Amino acid sequence: MSPEINLEKAFQDRIDKGEKIEPKDWMPEKYRKTHIRQISQHAHSEVVGMLPEGNWITRAPSLKRKCALLAKVQDEAGHGLYLYSAAETLGISRDEMIEQLHSGKAKYSSIFNYPTLSWADMGAIGWLVDGAAIINQVMLTRTSFGPYARAMVRICKEESFHQRQGYEIMMVLASGTPEQKEMAQDALNRFWWPSMMMFGPRDEESTNSELSMKWKIKRKSNDELRQQFVDNSVPQAEYLGLTIPDPDLKWNEERGHYDFGDIDWNEFWQVVKGDGPCNKERMEARQNAWDNGKWVRDAAMAYAEKQSKSKSIAV
């Protein structure tokens, strides 16, 4: 057996035993690359995900709502930072990851390319988008790469606060005036299908799943997680007195799950490929933030250099 095959076998044995892989451990090049791809895309999603909600901070209906939304958006920046740091342990720099986002080489979640048209969208995002994110991310707290799994523990706790604040906004609107209830229903109508798409393509079209399952990066498939999301969301919508916009949604006694209608995969791929309602606007906002923040990065670097020079003189 060649030394490379031996290493691969020992690596797979560790994964099968449920051991965590740490940054300095030997790993197949493809495992390293897959993690850089997934973790950096996840980080980009958190950072781009701040934009649709940031849009509503100045227009939140009360001081209490403004504080909660501000805290949520700040948490998302924090999630981006933990995740960029976890990816950096695999030998890629933050600058390279940002460059890949700006050039379109790296993706970010399709969901953040939809506009936020009313205050109810803040409720729908918290309830559905964070709800979908938690289902996917609880699985990731047990992923095989140590720094990613550990980052996900704290992220999941914060996402669960986000989900509750969103659902509470929906509860208040859904039990408010007829106009408020209508706003809540409209937000559900617009965010339901894009939230279903967050889990990625159907299993048979998920190109990365086979290896990711073998390496326990993913522990449940895209379709399994999507089903879990539907099963969780239906009673929540019923409690709100709102209707999920899917005429084919019905309980299947035999499967013990809800059946649901077809997802528009053409729309999904169009959005992923850069042609969704807000892709251009989102990338412009990120590029501008990067350009306008250059003086801050330069000043921080100059300060760090000055500090290290004065330390070396003192020694």
Number of residues that bind ligand FAQ (CB under 6 A): 28
Rounded CA separation 159/126 (Å)? 9
Among 200, 226, 234, 260, binds ligand FAQ (CB under 6 A): 200
Our finding on whether 183 is near ligand FAQ (CB under 6 A) is no
Residues in CB range of 221: below 8 A, 6 or more apart: 203, 206, 209, 213
**CB-count burial class (<10 Å; 0-12, 13-18, 19+) for 305:** exposed
Q: Which stretch binds ligand FAQ (CB under 6 A): 41-49, 185-193, 251-259, 292-300?
A: 41-49
CA-CA distance, 74 to 251, in Å (whole number)? 38
> What is the nearest approach in angstroms of ligand FAQ to the Cβ of residue 237?
19
Helix (H, G, I), strand (E, B) or coil at 21: strand
Q: Which of 97, 201, 227, 283 binds ligand FAQ (CB under 6 A)?
A: 201
Instruction: For ligand FAQ, give the closer residue by CB, 42 or 282.
Output: 42
User: Please, which residue, 80 or 240, has the CB nearer to ligand FAQ?
Assistant: 80
Least distance in angstroms from the C-beta of 232 to ligand FAQ: 16
Smaller CB separation from ligand FAQ, 94 or 107: 107
Per the structure block, which two tokens stand in for 60?
Answer: 């939140």
Smallest gap from Cβ 144 to ligand FAQ, in A, equals 13
From the list 7-15, 127-135, 285-293, 294-302, the region that binds ligand FAQ by CB under 6 A is 127-135
Give dist(CA 70, CA 168) in Å, integer. 16
Contact status: 207 vs ligand FAQ (CB under 6 A):
yes
Amino acid symbol at 91: G
Residue 130 binds ligand FAQ (CB under 6 A) = yes
3-state secondary structure 185-214: HHHHHHHHHHHHHCCCCCHHHCCCHHHHHH
Strand partners, 250: 259
- Residue 296 CB contacts under 8 Å (≥ 6 apart), including other chains: none
Q: Which of 11, 21, 31, 41 binds ligand FAQ (CB under 6 A)?
A: 41
Minimum Å distance from CB 3 to ligand FAQ? 30
- Is residue 197 near ligand FAQ by the rule CB under 6 A? yes
Least separation in angstroms between CB 63 and ligand FAQ: 22
Closest distance of CB 65 from ligand FAQ, Å: 16
Minimum distance, C-beta of residue 262 to ligand FAQ, in the bound complex (Å): 17
Closest CA to 297 of 76, 43, 93: 93
Answer yes or no whether residue 116 interacts with ligand FAQ by CB under 6 A. no
CA distances from 55 to 33, 116, 118, 165, 285 (A): 34, 8, 10, 17, 12
Binding site for ligand FAQ (CB under 6 A): 37-38, 41-42, 45-46, 49, 76, 107, 109-110, 125, 129-130, 133, 136, 197-201, 206-209, 212, 222, 272
